[in-house]
Structure formats: structure tokens, C-alpha cells
Structure 1
Amino acid sequence: MADRYLSFTGTAPGRFLTRRLGLPQPAQLVRWSAERPRLEGGLLHLAAGKPDPNLAPVLARTGLRTGTGAEDSPVAVVLDATGVRDVESLGEVHAALHPVVRSVAASGRVVVLGAPLDPADHHQAAAQQALEGFTRSLGKEIGRGRTVNLVRLADGEAAESTLRFLLSPRSAYVSGQVIEVGAGAFAVPDDWERPLAGRTALVTGAARGIGAAVAETLTRDGARVVVLDVPAAEADARALAERLGGSALALDITAADAGARIADALPEGLDILVHNAGITRDRRLVNMPAERWSSVLDVNLGSVLRTTDALLERGVMKTGGRIVATASIAGIAGNAGQTNYGAGKAGIVGLVRGLAPRAAGEYGVTVNAVAPGFVETKMTAAIPLVIREAGRRMNSLAQGGVPGDVAEVTAWLVQGGSGAVNGQVVRVCGQSLLGA
């Protein structure tokens, strides 16, 4: 559904009126397109505390211009704060960014690099935790479609896929996030433009909406995609699969034998599993019958647990595989009328945190989640006008996301180069004020 307010604020009368009335002034976000695959401009690399010498060559490979001239209206600023260990060195964060924040180009990026909290040094832990409050606050004030994120690094080399993502148009609706990059195994792709070449992906609930966008984006990045949806949506699933050069699988993901049927359909194994299927049956708890509760929990959480277990135990997920499940900010912040949906999506967060370490150790598979906020879909288009507008504006970017925003995050998480990103729940919400 078109965001008429966003279009209006892009006109001269709209800018004048919204400024006079103190209304939100969202910027048109720069998203990935074949014509504009990268941000256009320079990358300014700064440091607070002792810098990490391994980061410069990684940043040089992002494709953004570095060095002389990059400081003039940079499109991206990366602050290496991995060496910040005390309150005094936090002053260097202010000293580095204070002079340049205003000059960052519209739809630009600010990425702060931090270190894991040291349990043996509470001064370092305090200083590094302070970076989280700093980046979230800066994200809420920087404006003009610019985003601010914090990446905690255990290994700078392992962060290349994450930095490429955050410093690109693909991350347009990701802001205020804290992403941990551990020391897990990762594989640098032969071609960063098609990092999923030769890999097979299964996307559930993929016939339309966010699922279809995920299938399209994974295909763009080189994957062969299996489009899974319920039998009632088989025609749409097959049409999409045919267009993408993939295949379709019609089945009820809540069926007891769903995992076995998927395994039978993929005798050569699976590299990527994306749990996108989900339903809503909204009603306040006092008016919610048991059927509405159980059906939502079964689709949104129970089926994810059963299918994941079956595919791991049967060896369908290959070593180096990737699992991404769909959570929601409703599971993080809660939402009136959605106790069932919020419970299921919070359960996805628990699944990721509980399974990720074991899946990496026993199967060589990473497990992460995306948590969308307000995304422009047919479902959100049916929300009453006032509530819909509140959902759109109550984030740092003052607008809703699009299905492609969720798909881009998913595509980054399933890359071979993202093997050190594990157990993460990444919100795709424009830094929503809900649960922030």
C-alpha cells in the first residue's frame, strides 16, 4: 500500500507544512537495486581507543571509497571502538563522531565497532555496554534516512559479510541494532554479488508477501529456491517457483510428517532453511477461545520446532547450513490483542538462543532470526488508518518497511560469509520505539 504521507513530505509544500507543524519528516530510503547496488560516496574510518589493525583491509573491500576526500560528506562512517576500555576512552567516541555526524550524507550509515564484554574487567564491560546506549540514542536523533548500528567483534576478518551488508543499500531499514560477530567458521564467497551460488534454500510460507520477497532475493543471490506453502496456495507457489527457476512444495507445515516429507523432497540435502510461515488470530485474551490460541502457536512456533528438529536429526541440513526463523517485535515488546502471536514469536527468540550454540557445535549450522516491525503488506494495509499511521511513524525512520527489507537481512544471515553470526535476533523495524 502506498505511503501517501511519505510522498507528500517529499514535496516543497509538504516539507514546509510538516516543518511548521512539527510533524515527522521521513526521507526516501535508498534501497538496493540493480542500477544502484552500492551506496555512492566515501567511507570515513575513525577510531576511539586502540584501533584494530585488521579492520582497514576489510573495510577497503566494501567497495566504498576510503582515504583522501572520504571525509567530505561521507556516505558511511565506521568508528572502531573495539579498544574502548574505560570512561575516559569513551570521550574519544564523542571526539571522533561529534565533528562529522552532521556531514553524513542522507541515507548514510554510521557503524560503531565494539568488543565483547570482558567478564574479568568490569570497567571494560561498562564502557563497551555504554556503546549500546550511545548507538541507539544516536540512531533516534540522526535523521534524514541515516542509520546507526553497533557490531561487537570477536574477529574482524569474520565481520566482512556483516560490514558489507550494513554499509550497503540492503540495510536501509535496519537501525539501532546490536549484532555480535563471534569467532565461528565462515566461508568467503567466490562472488560477493552471488554469494549463494550452488546452494539450495527452502522458504516456508513463500507464495506471497514477505516469503515471496525472501525467495526472490535468495534467487537473486544465486540460490536454488524451494517455495513451500499450504495446498490452498499451491497455484501461487508454483507460479513463483516457475518464475524463479526453482520448485514448489505444497504441504501443511503443521502436519506431523512435514519434516519427513521435506526430507524426502530434498534427497541431496538443504543448505538454507527459512521459517517464514505464520498466521495471526488477533483477539484480547479475555475473548480468545482456545482454538485461536493453539492454531497460532502451532503454526508460528510448534511447526518451526518440529521441522527444525526433524531436518537436523535426519541430516538434511548440510554442514555450513543456515537456519533463519521469523520472529517479530510483537514477541519482543508485546502487542495488545496478540497474546498468542506475541507468545509464539517470543518463542522463536528462545529457540534461536537455545539451539544456536548446539547446532553450531553438533551440526555446523547457524541459527538466527529476523524480527520485522511494521512492514507494508496486505495484512498491514487492512489495519485501521490511525493505527496504521502510528505503526508507520513510531520508528526512527518515520515510515514502514517493505518485504524486501526483511528479505535482505535474511539473505545476509544465510551467506557462507556470515558463519560467525549465530544466535542473533535482528530487528527489521527502522528502530521502532516499541520495545526499543
Structure 2
Amino acid sequence: MSDRYQDFTASTIGKQITKLLGLPQPTRLERYAEGAPLVDGTVAVGGRGRLAESLVGILDTLGIAGVETPAGETPGDATTYKGLVFDATGLTSSDQLVALRDFFTPLLRSLDRCPRVVVIGTPPELVDGAERVAQRALEGFTRSLGKEIGRGGTVQLVYVADGAEGSVASTLAFLLSPKSAYVSGQVVRIGAHGAAKPCEVADWTRPLEGKVAVVTGASRGIGEQIARVLHRDGATVIGIDVPQAASELQGVMRELDGDHLVLDITAKDAPQRIAHHLQTKHGGVDVVVHNAGITRDRKLANMAPNEKGDRFEQVVAVNLTAPERITRELLDQGVVNKGGSIIGVASIAGIAGNVGQTNYTASKAGVIGLVDSLADELKDGITINAVAPGFIITQMTAAVPFATREVGQRLNALAQGGLPVDVAETIAWYASPGSTAVNGNVVRVCGQMMLGA
């Protein structure tokens, strides 16, 4: 589905009119294509901290060209950078924050189109005093820079706990590449819930080789794209969907050489059936993606209790209670393999709220609660994280009234809607064996919303 406004702004007359009226001029985002390098260009690295000396080497293992750039150095006129990484873990007081200005200001005008910027810090909750103040300040800096960088660029903050320095590769691979095209202004924590030993990734182009992944709601839309990206990364995918979508589900799984299970995830015996299928046919599961979800919108004053097809109860049952029950069953039976990953699909609506969606927003906020409740409880290197999509262009959003749809797409730093693949790429990053220290995170896939969350 094309973005007609973006197509218009790319035309000669469209550029002139939007510039004259001060309207958004969204950059066409670069997205990852299978077989392409993770980063098509050079990444400048700077800072003084726990990771400074190892960053260029880490990038080299990913096939990314990294170059150390001292603070204050102005590149030549012909020099361009595809990304910037600054190690701010060495900033221990607020007066040292000027180091951010000293590094970034000379380089920002040398950034290529759709650049990636990453600042690395220490989780503020793990340090005290002046250092805690300085590290917390990094969030304001990165979020503001994300809203001013322009040209399709993104900015992220990665908090790395002491001892988790060896676990940053998969996160840098994601955040510096086109895979994170619609993720900006986010804060990622590595090792904040214990520094799990990173798993070796033999092939960064197929990090899920030999792994088994299950995706609910996999017949179409975001779920189908999740299945396709996990398959691209090497996983054997088991898709789950309701009987009404059986034909579509079977078609997708046949194309991906995967497996399928047709059932209603809210059924009383659904968790047991899923666990039995995964255990007996696949010997367990490595990646669990709770994607299935529904909406039944209506203002709360008009949402009568015990109505036929109870809107509140149905939405909570599908979006939250079913993932809770399935997760618990898989964990209790030991179906999730060591180093496995559980991933929930929340929503930015669950963070900021939405008119007419008290049922939906409660369920999606609950998905975040599920992450919070289990992050410190899981054993054997199993992790749990969530994505919170913003305005993602799907068949469902195509039915939204034009004016509402346009506002929804433009009110973010990238001035456009995201695609299902943007959600899928974020989930694939969580699922990677190299992300074993990425636990308890909720990352918004929203182009960095300008208002609300």
C-alpha cells in the first residue's frame, strides 16, 4: 500500500508546495533487503567509556566498517557517515555532558541519507549520585536529537549494564542497519536483568538457523510478516490462527516450508494443545511470538456489560489472557528451550491511551505488564520482551477515514506510517541468540511519536 502524500512530496511540484506551506516532507526510508550488507557505509565511533576500545572490533565482526573519530574532529568535505556511535558510559557528572556536543556537532552535517545514531550509556538505576544524573540525561538528549536529525535518520540510547559489554553486537547490528528503519527515540537496556552469557552467532545473516519459532495470528498482516522474517533468518516457523483463517494460514506456512496449528487461542485447552504440538513434533520451541490480537472499539459508556459478543471480555481474552495462559503452560512444561525468547506485541495505545479503546489499551498495557512480571522470573537464559507498534500501514488502517489516517501517519519524527516488516524486524532482533542479555524491554516501533508516549 503506497503513501500517496509521500509520493506527492517526492514530485517536483509537491516539493515546492509542501516547502512553501511548511508541510512535512517525509524521506523514503531504506529497509533491509535479504543479502544486502547490514550497513552500506562507514560508522564513526567516539567517546570514552567501558566499550570505547572494543566498538570498532565489534562492528568488524558484523561486517560493518567502523572508524574512530576523536571529539571535535571535523571531517573533510567529501566524508560521509552512515552511522555514529558514541560511548557515554564514561560520563559521571552533568558537566561532562558537553562531550556529546563535542562529538556530534562536527559530524551531523556529514551524515548520509537515512543515518543511524546510537548512544551507549549505563542504566541509571544501577549507579548513584552524579553519575546517575548524567546517565539519565542521555534520554533527553537522544530523544530530542531523534526529532531533529531529519532525512530519515534515527537515534537510540542503549544502556549497557556493567558486565554485559560482550552482549551488544546483536543490538548494534539491528539499530545501525535498515532493519530498524521505523524505530527511533527508543531506550534499550542490555543486562539490566542480569548479564546472560551471549550465545555465539555463526552467521549474522541467518542467526535463527536451526531454531523453532511459533507465531500466533500468522495468516496475514503483521503476523504473516513476522513469520516471513523469522523464516528468512533461518527459523522453522509454526503458524497459529483461528479456523476462519485456516486456508490463508496453510498457504503461508506451505510457502515458508513451515508447520501450522489451527485453533482459537482463547479455548480452554489451547495452551495444552500448543504445548503438546511443539513438544511432540518439534522437540520444543526457541521463539514464542504472541501476535494475535483483535479490536472491538467503543467508548466505555456505550460498552454494555454482558452484551452479545462482549467487547471488553473478548478483546482482553485474545490480546492478554491467552498469551498469559500459553506462556505459563509452555514454561511449566519446559517446552521453551534454554536461551529461548518470548515476545509480546503490545501497542503504543497501551502506553498513551486512545479514545474508544479502553478494552484494547488495557489489554496492550497488560502485555507490557507480562514482560515486567516475568523478566526477573525466567530461568535458563530465557528472555521476554515486547514491541509496541504505532501507526503501521495495513489493510485495517487502510479503512481508517482519510483525515484521521493522515494525521496518524504524520505525527512522528519520520512523518510517515510504518510497515509490518518494521515490527517483524524488531521481533527478529529480540529472537536472535545474540540478544540473550536483551530482557525486559518494550521498544516502540512508531517512528518516534511527536505527542503522547
TM-score w.r.t. the length of structure 1 is 0.97
Matched, 1:295 2:304: no
* Kept after mapping to 2: 8 A contact 1:229/1:250: yes
Q: Which residue is 1:172 aligned to? A: 181
Deviates more, 1:181-190 or 1:304-313: 181-190
Q: Which moved more, 1:289-298 or 1:408-417?
A: 289-298
Q: Name the amino acid aligned to 1:371.
A: A
Shift of 1:299: 0.4
| Map of 1:351 onto structure 2 | 370
Q: Secondary structure at 1:319's aligned position in 2?
A: strand
How far 1:407 moved relative to its partner?
0.3
Q: Assess if the C-alpha contact under 8 Å between 1:48 and 1:96 holds in 2.
A: no
Return the letter of the residue paired with 1:177: Q
Deviation of 1:55 after TM superposition, in Å, equals: 2.5
Written as runs of structure 1 = structure 2, the 5 A alignment for 1:16-415 is: 16-34=16-34, 36-47=36-47, 52-67=52-67, 71=75, 72-117=79-124, 121-154=128-161, 155-182=164-191, 183-266=195-278, 267=280, 268-290=283-305, 291-359=310-378, 362-415=379-432
Given that residues 92 and 135 in structure 2 are in contact (C-alpha distance below 8 angstroms), is that contact kept between their aligned partners in structure 1? yes
CA contact (8 A) 1:50 1:84 kept: no
Aligned equivalents of 1:112, 1:97: Cα separation in 2: 10
Cα 1:259/1:68, change in 2 over 3 Å: closer
Deviation at 1:264, TM superposition (A): 1.5
Residues 48 and 92, structure 1, Cα contact 8 Å, conserved in 2: no
Structure 1 counterpart SS, 2:66: coil
Distance in 2 between residues matched to 1:78 and 1:168, nearest whole Å: 13
For 1:352, what is the secondary structure of its paired residue? helix
Change (3 A) 1:59 1:38: closer
Cα RMSD for the two superposed structures: 1.6
SS at match of 2:413: coil
* Amino-acid identity (%): 50
Q: Residue 363 of structure 1: CA displacement?
A: 4.3
Moved more, 379-388 or 46-55: 46-55
Structure 1 residues 307, 402: CA separation in 2 closer, same or farther (over 3 Å shift)? Answer: same
Return the letter of the residue paired with 1:270: V
Give the residue type in structure 2 aligned to 1:46: G
Tell me the secondary structure at the aligned position of residue 449 of structure 2. coil
Distance 1:41 1:80, change over 3 A: same
* Secondary structure of the corresponding residue to residue 280 of structure 1: coil
**Which amino acid letter does the alignment assign opposite residue 58 of structure 1?**
I
Q: Secondary structure at the match of 1:82?
A: coil
Q: Which residue of 1 aligns with 2:15?
A: 15
- Report what 1:418 is aligned to: 435
Corresponding letter in the other structure for 1:163: L
Between 36-45 and 239-248, the greater mean CA deviation after superposition: 36-45
**Which residue of 2 is the match for residue 432 of structure 1?**
449
Contact preservation (8 Å) 1:296, 1:344: yes
Q: Is the 8 A contact 1:43 1:74 kept in 2?
A: yes
Conservation of the 8 A alpha-carbon contact between 2:43 and 2:83: yes
Q: Could you say if the C-alpha distance between residues 14 and 58 of structure 1 is closer, same or farther in structure 2, counting changes exceeding 3 Å? A: same
Displacement of 1:289 in angstroms is 2.5
Secondary structure of the equivalent of 1:283? coil
Task: String of CA shifts for 1:243-290, please: whole Å, max 9, x gaps.
Answer: 000011100000111111011212211111000000000011111123
The answer to whether the 8 Å contact 2:392/2:419 transfers is: yes
- Report if aligned partners of 1:48, 1:93 keep a CA contact under 8 Å in 2: no
Amino acid paired to 1:287: N
Q: Which moved more, 1:417-426 or 1:183-192?
A: 183-192
- SS state at 2:437 partner: coil
Once the two structures are superposed, residues 58-99 of structure 1 have per-residue CA deviations (whole angstroms, 9 ceiling, x without a partner) of 122232223389952101000111111111210111111111
**SS of the counterpart of 1:194?**
coil
Gaps of at least 5 residues in structure 2 are none
Judge conservation of contact 2:330–2:336 (CA < 8 Å) in 1.
yes
Amino acid paired to 2:108? V
Secondary structure, in 3 states, of the residue corresponding to 2:375?
A: helix
Structure 2 CA distance for aligned equivalents of residues 49 and 258 of structure 1 = 49
On the 8 A contact 2:222/2:424 being kept in 1, the answer is yes
Name the CA shift for 1:49/1:192 in 2 (closer, same or farther; >3 Å). Answer: closer
**Residues in 2 aligned to 1:384 and 1:207: alpha-carbon distance in whole angstroms:** 25
For these two proteins, the number of residue pairs brought into alignment is: 434
Task: Go from structure 1 to structure 2 and tell me whether the alpha carbon gap of 1:286 and 1:251 turns closer, same or farther (over 3 Å shift).
Answer: same
Structure 1: which 5+ residue stretches go unaligned?
Answer: none
Cα distance in 2, alignment partners of residues 205 and 141 from structure 1? 36
Distance 1:44 1:315 in 2: 44
- The answer (yes or no) to whether the contact 2:59–2:65 under 8 Å persists in 1 is no
- Which residue identity is paired with 1:215? A
Corresponding residue SS for 1:162? helix
Describe the superposition over 1:16-73 as per-residue Cα deviations: whole angstroms up to 9, x where unpaired.
1111100001000000113634332111001156763233311222322233899521
